[in-house]
Copies of this chain bind each other. A is one copy, B any other.
Amino acid sequence: MNKHGIILFGHGARDPRWAEPFERLAAKLRALRGEPVSLAFLELMTPDLPAAVARQAADGCDAITVVPVFFGQGGHVRRDLPEIIEKCRSAHPDVTISCATAVGEDDAVLDAVAEYCLRQAGQ
C-alpha cells in the first residue's frame, strides 16, 4: 500500500456548527483526490490529532501531511502542534508525518480572503 493522507487540523470549539467549514473543506479535498482526508482538533472536538493519525496509519497511509487550518501561527501552531506531531511520529515510526505552515500564511488564500472582503463591502 502507498497512501498519502491529509489531516486538516483545527482548533475546535464548543459549538458543533463551528466545524462546518472544515467539513466542507474535507469534502472538497475528497472530491479532488482519491486518498484519505480527515479532520483533527486541538481541543473541544474529536478526534484529536493522535487519533486521526492512528486511523490513517491503520488505513494504510505511509505518508501523512498535517495542514493547520488556522489564520495566524501563534502558540497553538508554533508550540502545541509540534509537540503533538512528535508524539505521533514516535507512535508511528513507519509513517512519514509532515506538517505544513498554517493556511493563513499562504498568499493565494489571503488573496481569496481579500476578494471576499471587497465583495462584502459591495466593491
| A contact residues vs B (CB 8 Å cutoff) | 4, 6, 8, 10, 13-15, 17-22, 24-25, 28-29, 32-33, 65, 67, 69-75, 78, 98, 100, 102-106, 108-118, 120-123
Select from chain B the residue with minimum beta-carbon distance to A71.
Answer: B21
| Contact across chains for B6 and A65 when beta carbons are under 8 A apart | no
Contact call B113/A13, Cβ cutoff below 8 A? no
Contact A19 B72 (CB under 8 A): yes
Closest to A28 in B: B114
Give me 8 A-to-B residue pairs in the complex whose CB atoms sit less than 8 angstroms apart, sorted by A's number. A4-B121, A6-B117, A21-B71, A32-B118, A71-B71, A100-B120, A103-B116, A109-B109
A116 and B109 form a contact (CB under 8 A): yes
When all copies of this chain in the complex are counted, the total is: 2
Distance from A77 Cβ to chain B, minimum over Cβ atoms (Å)? 8
> For A19, A65, A113, which residue has the most chain B Cβ atoms within 10 angstroms?
A113
- Shortest Cβ distance from A63 into B: residue: B121
Tell me which residues across on chain B come within 8 A of A123, comparing CB atoms: 4, 33
